Amino acid sequence: MTRKGEGAFWIFTFFCFWNSAICLLSSTGVNFEVQALMGIRAGLIDPHGVLDNWDGDSVDPCSWTMVTCSAESLVIGLGTPSQNLSGILSPSIGNLKNLQIILLQNNNITGSIPAELGRLSKLQTLDLSDNFFTGSIPPSLGHLRTLQYMRLNNNSLSGEIPMSLANMTQLSLVDLSFNNLTGPLPRFPSKSFNIFGNPSICPTGSEPPCHGITLMPMSMTMNNSETALSSGRQKSHNFALALSSSIGCIGLLLLGFGLFLWMRRRQKQQKNFDVKDKHHEEISLGNLRRFQLRELQIATNNFSSKNLLGKGGFGNVYKGYLLDGTAVAVKRLKDGSATGGERQFQTEVEMISLAVHRNLLRLYGFCMTSTEKLLVYPYMSNGSVASRLKAKPVLDWGTRKRIALGAARGLLYLHEQCDPKIIHRDVKAANILLDDYCEAVVGDFGLAKLLDHQDSHVTTAVRGTVGHIAPEYLSTGQSSEKTDVFGFGVLLLELITGHRALEFGKAANQKGAMLDWVKKLHQEKSLELLVDKDFKNNCDMIELEEMVKVALLCTQYLPSYRPRMSEVVRMLEGDGLVERWEASQRVQTSKYKTQELILSERYSDLTNDSSLLVQAIELSGPSKSLGGAIISSLVMKTIQHYVQLRVKLLLIRDFFLTITPVERRICKSSIYSLIGVSYHAKFVP
């Protein structure tokens, strides 16, 4: 190449890069996607501040809430369902040219549907249902040739359905129900469509004029003509813009050709990533769907940390969107490669799916490979009780009572109405979810048993959260319905105080055990010190005392003295509490009183903040066997400082039941001086 030709080549390359920059940035030098999203933000009213981290000065919107990006950092998803948003949907949404999913359902958005949506040539899912959109359906939506799912139901749309919608050959679902649409119905290629609630729609476009439909006046026709002319001018303008940037696009093609092989190889890897799953056809266990791993990877953006909803003892939970726009929560079970065999896993999953109740989280589907075990649930837009207790607006007293009763009914179903019965083993505020109507939904039931199958060499494994574990479960590893009753009692105290179990009494500088503190306040008739300060003035003190009594009945040390969940439900409904409370207060034999006092003090110390049991310790975690004993590194907090001990836990159950969790010197060379002790039922033969 001559020097002159080489110079021309570099000038051309520079010109290509310049045009590529113009393609990515607006005229003001701002990322065009940021500009478009901020335009959307400006048109919406966000009462809960879910879009507060949208920053117009940002160069990358991929970290923003409700925004999903591709691996190339392009915005491909916008999802703000059930966020109480109002205002209008800005036409700037049409500038997000890479959008594939729009989920704005169940809000209060008004105004017309932007015609600019027709520019989104890659859009696959559009859900604007359950809003207050008015006006007609834009004919430009017919340009969305890749659209597969369209939900515009439950709005106030009017006018005729555009015939251009018949051009969307990829449509598999259309829902236009409960609007005020009129006129003939296009011949949708969709396999499923719903027009119920639009009484003035004709069956097809070939029918005679519809009864009850009035011909449009001339002025409306003229307006439509002007709209068409305006649309034509817009197309001409777009053509001019496309022509002016064509050279730049050619440059981008030349530059991109060098990456072609790399991208093709990457796509092949993605296609083959789930190759082991491909021989599994989409099957169902009853109403339970089996997903392919790749489906859930796409739904959660490959389990991106941006979609992480929470972490728990059973695994991490990720928010995702299926291709039809359904929001789901995907639980990725811990150590999926070891969670029992395929047949056993399917059996347990099917058992969980058969537990169907208004107050139980329904299992939607599952995925199983040699390395992964995943469960798919409906997404609960209001999160967990634990998160809502810390959020604004504050849950009022009436809502907290309703949550308590709903959770109790869910547990009652698991214990007494489900065959076989299911013991939850980890009842706490974080495992009680709230649906769109703030109704309690019990989650994570059945998972403890499901994960026990990976510990086939162990007869019992303590699974649960410190502060919620019943004393007999902690000391023997044997769970029962009364184990869940104890956890439910602690849940009631969480609802009352607004704090986690291990936080009870901290605000009052209480140094005793958490349940002892509650009993003390009840005896002193000082329950106002127990109430969440955020709604203290709006709480009925009589109802508060009743709920505290139910909580104390549920958290009695001996399981035989705790009520069944059916009794708990009746007491929360206002029936039988007085009799049950009086019976619990009757004088017991001195032998029982002494036994409970000694054992409860032992348990109180174990669950106290100064004990060995801190929440960071995973009770069912692995340990190393050494010479017939198990060495476990335990960290405990003393009154003044942390002391790290290495305690040799012997495999003798009776020995540990005789040790009190106070400082004691034991005349054995193999045991350290103990400040406290915890033994793991998993290690007991």
223: in domain: no
Q: What's the one-letter identity of residue 516?
A: D
Residues 44 and 14 in one domain: no
Phi/psi at 409 (nearest 5 deg)? -65, -35
pLDDT band per the 50, 70, 90 thresholds, residue 426: confident
Distance of alpha carbon 546 from the chain centroid? 32
Instruction: Tell me the mean pLDDT in the region 397-407.
Output: 92
Instruction: Tell me the mean pLDDT in the region 59-74.
Output: 84
For residue 504, what is the domain's CATH number? 1.10.510.10
Query: Directed axis angle between helix 481-497 and helix 565-572, to 10°?
Result: 30
289: in domain: yes
Is 72 in contact with 65 (CB distance < 8 Å)? no
pTM for this entry: 0.52
Residues 54 and 139 in one domain: yes
pLDDT band per the 50, 70, 90 thresholds, residue 254: low
Distance of alpha carbon 1 from the chain centroid? 60
Highest-confidence segment of 266-280, 327-341, 482-496: 482-496
Helix (H, G, I), strand (E, B) or coil at 102: strand
Residues 637 and 519 in one domain: no
Helix (H, G, I), strand (E, B) or coil at 311: strand
Distance of alpha carbon 211 from the chain centroid? 47
Domain boundary among 178, 201, 224: 201
Strands (E), 564-653: 624-626, 629-637, 642-649
The residue with greater pLDDT, 251 or 309, is: 309
Residues 304 and 430 in one domain: no
Q: What is the helix, strand, coil percentage profile of the chain, to 5?
A: 40, 15, 45
Strands (E), 354-483: 365-368, 373-378, 432-434, 440-442
126: in domain: yes
Number of domains in the chain: 5
Measure the CA–CA gap between 378 and 333, rounded to whole angstroms: 17
Helices (H), 502-557: 514-523, 541-554
The confidence score (pLDDT) of residue 8 equals 55
Task: Annotate 458-480 with DSSP letters as a single string.
Answer: -S----S-TTTS-HHHHHH----
Is 35 in contact with 274 (CB distance < 8 Å)? no
Residues 472 and 542 in one domain: yes
Measure the CA–CA gap between 558 and 184, rounded to whole angstroms: 70
Measure the CA–CA gap between 181 and 542, rounded to whole angstroms: 53
Domain ranges, residue 10: 1-30
The confidence score (pLDDT) of residue 246 equals 56
The confidence score (pLDDT) of residue 109 equals 95
The residue with greater pLDDT, 44 or 644, is: 44
Domain boundary among 160, 182, 201: 201
Is 611 in contact with 661 (CB distance < 8 Å)? yes
| 331 annotated to a ligand binding site | yes
The confidence score (pLDDT) of residue 352 equals 82
The structure tokens 């809430």 sit at 65
pLDDT at 511 over 50: no
Is 317 in contact with 309 (CB distance < 8 Å)? yes
Measure the CA–CA gap between 540 and 534, rounded to whole angstroms: 14
Residues 19 and 133 in one domain: no
226: in domain: no
- Comparing 80-89, 511-520, 548-557, the range with the smallest average pLDDT is 511-520
- Comparing 213-222, 604-613, 651-660, the range with the smallest average pLDDT is 213-222
Measure the CA–CA gap between 95 and 140, rounded to whole angstroms: 15
221: in domain: no
239: in domain: no
The confidence score (pLDDT) of residue 257 equals 59
665: in domain: yes
Is 176 in contact with 152 (CB distance < 8 Å)? yes
The residue with greater pLDDT, 195 or 379, is: 379
The confidence score (pLDDT) of residue 11 equals 56
Measure the CA–CA gap between 42 and 63, rounded to whole angstroms: 19
Beta bridge partners of 377: 329
Residues 17 and 157 in one domain: no
Provide the token pair at 35.
Answer: 């500009």
Provide the token pair at 495.
Answer: 């609802």
561: in domain: yes
Is 140 in contact with 160 (CB distance < 8 Å)? no
Residues 38 and 20 in one domain: no
Residues 462 and 603 in one domain: yes
Give, for 331, the enclosing helix (H) or strand (E).
Answer: strand 327-333
Residues 373 and 457 in one domain: no
- Comparing 58-67, 245-254, 498-507, 586-595, the range with the smallest average pLDDT is 586-595
- Comparing 310-319, 517-526, 596-605, the range with the smallest average pLDDT is 596-605
Residues 15 and 68 in one domain: no
pLDDT band per the 50, 70, 90 thresholds, residue 247: low
pLDDT tens profile 620-662: 333 333 333 333 333 333 322 333 333 333 333 333 333 333 3
Is 75 in contact with 67 (CB distance < 8 Å)? yes
Task: Annotate 119-149 with DSSP letters as a single string.
Answer: G-TT--EEE--SS--EEPPPGGGGG-TT--E
Highest-confidence segment of 29-33, 434-438, 668-672: 434-438
Domain boundary among 544, 575, 607: 607
Residues 290 and 407 in one domain: no
Report CA Rg, the chain: 31
pLDDT band per the 50, 70, 90 thresholds, residue 402: very high
Which residues participate in catalysis according to the annotation? Answer: 426
